[in-house]
Amino acid sequence: MKYGSFYQTFKSVKFDLDFAPKSANAAGHQLADLCIGPIARYVATGIKSLPCEIVMTKINSKPGYGLKIFP
């Protein structure tokens, strides 16, 4: 966030980082874990699996949305 990236600068973003215990939102964490696993494997290997295809259809559902990989 300090330096941004080629695509995005974060100079105007002001927020406080607050960590919550995992028990505070168990369903949200489980959903995030189910989505990030197939995407992480695709980014690491370049090979799409069926779960990755399903998740990507949800991410790429609107123009301007999609997977953005920041260095």
> What pLDDT score was predicted for residue 4?
66
**Could you give the angle at the alpha carbon of 13 between the alpha carbons of 55 and 6, nearest 5°?**
65
Work out the pLDDT band at 64, boundaries 50, 70, 90.
confident
**Cβ atoms within 10 Å, residue 51:** 15
Provide DSSP, the chain. Answer: --S--SS---TT---------GGGGHHHHHHHHHHHHHHHHHHHH----HHHHHHHHHHTSSTT-S-----
Q: pLDDT per residue over 3-61, tens digit each? A: 667 777 777 777 777 777 767 777 777 788 888 888 889 888 989 899 888 888 888 87
Model pTM above 0.85? no
